[in-house]
A = this chain, B = another copy of it.
């Protein structure tokens, strides 16, 4: 039984064939978003025992590096809008990872500090990130590429 001899148009995909993403692969924004989703997903998996999201981890890290700052300063540095930062802090404070304290010098603002539990959690989180998450990325990319990638992303965030 012969197959019907019929032209197969170039631009018509064969049934059951994966689609052509075409120029999408060259779109940096598309590739950035895809990669970012993957990386965040792995971050959440690695951080599951501590139940910290990427945003929460970044807050804890920033508080540790900059103790005594207020909410506006921390939120601005992370690109979080002040109103949206309130609920984030509520969650961290209710887990006793950080504290709000009225500033004696300016009683409008809250001085933010990590608690002991917050520092301990951050230490464990850093270890998980380094040994599980970032280590796998370095393994996939190679150390040199990993460093180059970080540099280029910083360039985009800074100069673009």
| Dominant secondary structure of chain A at its interface with chain B | helix
Task: Determine whether the beta carbon of A22 is less than 8 Å from that of B65.
Answer: yes
Distance to closest chain B CB from A46 (angstroms): 11
Task: Determine whether the beta carbon of B137 is less than 8 Å from that of A160.
Answer: yes
Contacts of A77 on B, CB cut-off 8 Å? Answer: 18-19, 21
Binds B, one of A67-75, A82-90, A93-101: A67-75
Q: How many copies does the complex hold?
A: 2
- Interface 0/1 of A19-62, CB less than 8 Å to B: 11111111111111111111110110000000000100010011
Contacts of A28 on B, CB cut-off 8 Å? Answer: 39, 134, 137, 146, 149-150, 153
Distance to closest chain B CB from A76 (angstroms): 9
| Cβ of A152 under 8 Å from chain B | yes
C-alpha gap A156/B35 in the complex (Å)? 6
Task: Determine whether the beta carbon of B25 is less than 8 Å from that of A154.
Answer: yes
Task: Determine whether the beta carbon of B20 is less than 8 Å from that of A66.
Answer: yes
Task: Determine whether the beta carbon of B157 is less than 8 Å from that of A34.
Answer: yes
